Amino acid sequence: MSEYAMDMEALGEKIEKTSAFIDDIRNELEKVIIGQRYMIDRLLLGLLTNGHVLLEGVPGLAKTLTVSSLATVLNTDFQRIQFTPDLLPADLIGTLIYNQKEAEFLVKKGPIFANIILADEINRSPAKVQSALLEAMQEKQVTIGENTYTLEEPFLVLATQNPVEQEGTYPLPEAQVDRFMLKLKIDYPTEKEEMEIMRRMAKTGKKEKLATVVDPEKILEARSTINEIYMDEKVEQYIVDLVFATRKPKNYNLKELEDLISFGASPRATINLNLASRAHAFMEHRAYVTPEDVRTIAMDVLRHRIIPTFEAEAEEVGPEDIVKKIMNTVQVP
């Protein structure tokens, strides 16, 4: 057996061992969350890659329940922040309070100082509050007055938003949206799942309590293991091709998309697609990335990073239609 094969075998055993907790988390969450396996897996993927997640869907699809349940099974600090039109940046990050007795200003930290933040209905607040999240999301730190405070790891922002067509919503600025690693479109459950939801949830009184399955240290250990997962050069090239096809479609036999894309995906998309593919392989207990890993999560990484032109909107062609076309055309290794 070659040295490379032995290394891969050893790595495979390590991945098998360190990724075992993924199934435990899924099993525990499924006690209260029916269906929504896609949402659970993508939230775990965000957690493993230190990437924030934006969930879009109509109210009542268990978005908030899933996030709060995830925080419970991970034994992490959790804060739910309800975004409203009158919310102020200080309500989010904290402020300085004057202590008359001591004649000095004291720092009162806001709810952002937790491991998992649920920014509920993020697009119901004005831009100044949304932008207050930017430093925390990107730099993992917050500035109050003249002092900067580092946020504790793991730190993850999971934001829910209602579809923009709904009344009283503000579209998120492009810079804010790009900070989210994944954007998920949460759909209604199937008829079978809905029946199970009704039978299990249509009861008064206390709901089932979840147990803590894993501690934050295990997540941080998994993050470093994900960096070791092998990715072939052909898969790396495939990621670059997918992203470049959003910028220069005619180079990839997609001339018809030229007038439909105003701005393509940024380099952050390339980085996130690589990271998310590795994490997907890890969640499947594999030590290497396949093109199928990339294809599985490409839509969630790219859908919010492509800005269509007015022409595309007139033709009712959305970012998802563009991503589908690219994935169907760019050659898979």
pLDDT at 246: 93
Rounded to 10°, the helix 291-302/267-283 angle is 130
Cα–Cα distance between 279 and 139 in angstroms, integer? 22
At 312-321, the pLDDT tens digits run: 888 888 889 9
pLDDT at 2: 54
Which of the given ranges, 83-87, 140-144, 180-184, 210-214, has the highest pLDDT on average? 180-184
Mean pLDDT within 279-292: 92
Cα–Cα distance between 104 and 147 in angstroms, integer? 14
At 72-94, the pLDDT tens digits run: 888 888 888 888 888 888 888 88
Q: 207: pLDDT confidence band, cut at 50, 70 and 90?
A: low
- What stretch(es) of the chain map to CATH 3.40.50.300? 37-200
Rg (CA), the chain: 21
242: which residues sit within 8 A by CB, 6+ positions away?
Answer: 273, 294, 298, 302, 326, 327, 330
pTM here is: 0.86
pLDDT at 296: 94
Which of the given ranges, 11-25, 185-199, 282-296, 305-319, has the highest pLDDT on average? 282-296
pLDDT at 327: 92
pLDDT at 231: 92
pLDDT at 325: 92
288: which residues sit within 8 A by CB, 6+ positions away?
Answer: 8, 229, 230, 231, 232, 281
Residue 155, classified by CB atoms within 10 Å of its CB into exposed (0-12), middle (13-18) or buried (19+), is: buried
Q: What percent of the chain has a predicted confidence (pLDDT) above 70? A: 94
Taken in order 10, 12, 17, 18, is the CA torsion positive or negative?
positive
The two structure tokens encoding residue 184? 């998920």
The two structure tokens encoding residue 314? 């007139």
pLDDT at 5: 60
Output the average pLDDT for the chain.
85
156-161 sheet: strands from edge to edge: 78-82, 116-120, 156-161, 52-56, 180-185
Residues 147, 152, 153: CA angle, nearest 5 degrees: 140
Q: Would you say residue 186 has pLDDT above 80?
A: yes
The residue among 88 and 275 whose pLDDT is bigger is 275
pLDDT at 316: 85
Q: Residue 302: enclosing H or E segment and its boundaries?
A: helix 291-302
Mean pLDDT within 277-301: 93
At 191-200, the pLDDT tens digits run: 888 888 888 7
109: which residues sit within 8 A by CB, 6+ positions away?
Answer: 94, 144, 149
Strands 78-82 and 147-150: unpaired
Residues 115, 120, 124: CA angle, nearest 5 degrees: 140
Q: What fold characterizes domain 229-329?
A: Helicase, Ruva Protein; domain 3 (1.10.8)
Q: What fold characterizes domain 37-200?
A: Rossmann fold (3.40.50)
For residue 279, give the 3-state DSSP assignment. helix
Q: 300: pLDDT confidence band, cut at 50, 70 and 90?
A: very high
At 98-129, the pLDDT tens digits run: 777 777 778 888 888 888 888 888 888 877 78
For residue 216, give the 3-state DSSP assignment. helix
CB atoms within 10 A of CB 331: 10
- What stretch(es) of the chain map to CATH 1.10.8.80? 229-329
Which of the given ranges, 79-93, 161-175, 274-288, has the highest pLDDT on average? 274-288
Residue 52, classified by CB atoms within 10 Å of its CB into exposed (0-12), middle (13-18) or buried (19+), is: buried
pLDDT at 298: 94
At 252-270, the pLDDT tens digits run: 888 888 888 888 898 999 9
Cα end-to-end distance, the chain, whole Å: 26
